Amino acid sequence: MVAVGEDGEPMRTGYRTSEGDRPEQVQVRWVGPRGSGARYQEQEQLQRCQAVLRNWGFEAVEVRGPGGRRYLEVEAARRAPL
């Protein structure tokens, strides 16, 4: 998680999670303070996070949101019926 200031802006670079658009979905973003260069790191950092989440059994899909910013949509992997 990322520490945020009183204004809600990130104080350091890191992952931020929030509720997704659907039940049981989470969004993961790579954020940082203004001028930190976090935007230029986001593709690499989200790919690293995506690999870890997939190894743990989650479905993680990279999405481009407003302004071209990337984030992950994450859900528990669906199991095939027995």
What pTM, to 2 d.p., does this model score?
Answer: 0.81
Q: Which residues of 33-67 are buried (b: 16+ CB within 10 A; e: fewer)?
A: beeeebeeebeebbeebbeebeeeeeebeeeeeee
Output the pLDDT for position 82.
61
Across the 82 residues of the chain, what is the mean pLDDT of every consecutive 10-residue run? 67 88 93 86 96 95 92 86 60
- Distance (Å, whole) CA 49 – CA 66: 21
Structure tokens given for 36: 């930190």
